[in-house]
Amino acid sequence: MRLAGYKKLGLALALGLTGVLWALPALGQMRRAAPPPPPAPPPQPAETEPRKGSPLRAELGVAVAARLLESDESSDRIRGVARLGSIGTTEAIDALVEALEASSAAGRDHRARLEAVRVLAPHAKRDPVRALLVRELTDAGADGKGAVSSLSALIRDTAALALARAGDKKALAELVNALLSGSGAGDAASRALRAAPPASIQPLLEARKGMSPALATLLGDLGDLRAIARLRVMLKEPDIEAKAAAAIALAKLGDDAPREVARTWAARPDPKLQRAAAEVLAYLGAPDAARLIATLIAADATRSEGIRLALATPSPELGRVLAAAIPKLPDADKARAAAALGRAGGPDAPPALAALMHDVGRADLATAAALALALLPGDAARAALEGAIAARGSGAAARLGVRAGIVRALALGDPPEGLPDRLEAMASAKDASDRAVAAFGLVALGAWSTKQAVERACPAVAPGGHPPRPGLGACDAPVLDASARAALVLGPDDLRAFRPVLDAAAPRFSVAGGVALLADPDARDISTVRLAAWAEAGGPLAPLAARALPSRDDEALRPLIKRLLEGSDPTVRAHVALGLARDPERDAVTVLANAYRFEDDAAVRRAIVRALSRRAEVQRRPVLLLARDLDPDGGVRALATSALEGRVLDLATWTPHSRALVAWVTVASDDPAARAHAALAVRADGLGIPVVADPDGVLLVPAMPIGTSSLELAPPSSPGDAGAR
């Protein structure tokens, strides 16, 4: 899990011509009905050239668009690009290409360039357009047209995808050239070809006597069996790196040709060949793959690569060698090796992981071993945790075993014997961390209802959900915080039990109560003033507060909604977009469409597409088509495809299977008082959840979807306030 800050820059702006173009037929009728116009006046002396074309063309045609592109205002230049794209004639497209020269105002405007790449994508088979797209692909990486912009990568990736979707020989040849360059443009070309594979791989291979390793890798990833013959030829080349890439690509395609070659490489002392051989045999599912991976793990030069392969292709044969290798590994690799050991399983894994759990000198390694043991099926793993729980010790080591037992009960439905009794005993402990662990387990496993947990933590909160009385300051904060996180395992009704805590004057308590906003996206019984204050202050409550604001959109609130949607925090921007899905104002769809056009963060664009899936207005369709066809992010494209098929893509706060997925995070700090951080856990699907760590700095966060999540920490001095560390 990575740590992410709050501050990123994003802007959104868009204008359209739909209303103007719609008015043209009516304008024509008015002209036919009007009396004949008077004779045109003679040209004015100041005119050096007569105007060409009709008055209508002068007002709405290429000439006007060209003047807009030369404007000092970025919004005018964007309008000019859009106007030329809507005209769509050869003359208009040529004018747009010419206007984007590097020295021009439009050529230096990143927004205008991005809009132009999108407009020109349907014309990518034309030579001038292709040349411009290639220039954007190769120049945007180094940003050869001016200062670095947050849109540079988006321009480059969109240009690459436009070339890939064109699919003609010249465009594919340019992408291959970029791929072989090994630069950022090469990475963009590789992603684009994977997203839009060519109908035939022949253009990728033409006019090339030999293939590079990068091209061989791409062919293996494309999954096109027509590449097998060419890759087999590559196996005979003298270049070892090329032969290795070809062998791995063939193995990915399921071709058995490199099997014997790989076994020959395995017997050589060259580490590169041994790594390639192990990967080939692993992809082919060969019986001797595990033995070769074990050889890699045992050698200093290949140990890290061996652990990577052990994680990808677990086997019980690897248990003993992984256990023996962990003490020799660099600190950065030890936790990975413990995870690989847990995935490998077998008779050697449980005792080795149990021993690592008691390594008091390496808390991170002990935590990784405990998590691996919690997720390892079988009686031996459960018995190892039962031993740790029954030890009845105190302190961090005792809590480690209990937490692992809770995770096992949630993830595998296989709770260690003695866990419920141990949790009940810890609930009355003097140590605040012990009470927090107990509260989390008892709520998550159903022994306490959330109402009971809130009343136990805060006796001042009256039964029935009434607002808390002034005695809320006497709350047992660690119990309250842990119970709120545990409630994520349960349904929306259980989350609502924390609603009274949101009325606390102290931010320390309201962060934990923020989970109640997950059950009520519109925050119907919270004032707009309070929501606005939370949203603008930043911190763990800001995203969910920002999500609720659009449900009460009006003329007075719209400026704040737009300001949040254009702000520096991508998580807040994404949640504002999610809230606009339920905005009662019909023009909210236009706000979403404008926000999408120049949004550089893929997570925010995913949220915008999710929101558009709930809207019924016709303005949503062009944005969804653009997202489906040209967005560089695969998640955005997939969501847009589903939205165009009529699916509503709401984020699910809770599912029957969500309890099985638990994130385990440790917040390290030299100051014990600073470990109980307030934080925002941003799930892989983009939903932000306010949480507070236990006093010992440990966070168990259930109901986390599969994928990459992040944890954004608020300052330790004021857990509910704005800011991040």
200-209, pLDDT tens digit by residue?
988 888 745 5
Contacts 24+ apart (CB under 8 A), 525-530: 525/499, 526/502, 528/552, 528/557
φ/ψ (deg, to 5) at 423: -65, -45
Q: What is the pLDDT of residue 478?
A: 94
Q: What is the pLDDT of residue 10?
A: 36
593-642, pLDDT tens digit by residue?
999 999 999 999 999 999 999 999 999 999 999 999 999 999 999 999 99
Residue 723 has pLDDT above 60, yes or no: no
Q: What is the pLDDT of residue 28?
A: 39
Tokens 């600073």, residue?
A: 674
The Cα–Cα gap between 162 and 155 comes to 11
Q: What is the pLDDT of residue 660?
A: 76
Least confident of 100-114, 169-183, 650-664: 650-664
Question: Stretch 698-711: mean pLDDT, rounded?
Answer: 91
User: CA-CA distances (angstroms) from residue 49 to 45, 46, 67, 71, 515?
Assistant: 10, 9, 16, 21, 69
Q: In what order do the strands lie in the sheet with 688-692?
A: 2-3, 710-713, 678-682, 688-692
Q: What is the pLDDT of residue 20?
A: 30
Work out the pLDDT band at 467, boundaries 50, 70, 90: very low
Work out the pLDDT band at 364, boundaries 50, 70, 90: confident
267: number of Cβ within 10 Å: 10
Work out the pLDDT band at 656, boundaries 50, 70, 90: low
The Cα–Cα gap between 121 and 235 comes to 37
142-185, pLDDT tens digit by residue?
444 445 578 999 999 999 999 999 999 999 999 999 998 878 89
Which candidate, 220, 107, 166, places its Cα nearest to that of 175?
Answer: 166
The Cα–Cα gap between 462 and 304 comes to 56
Contacts 24+ apart (CB under 8 A), 449-453: 449/494, 449/497, 450/483, 450/487, 450/490, 450/494, 450/495, 450/497, 450/498, 451/497, 453/479, 453/480, 453/483, 453/486, 453/487, 453/497
28: number of Cβ within 10 Å: 11
250-294, pLDDT tens digit by residue?
999 999 999 999 999 999 999 999 999 999 999 999 999 999 999
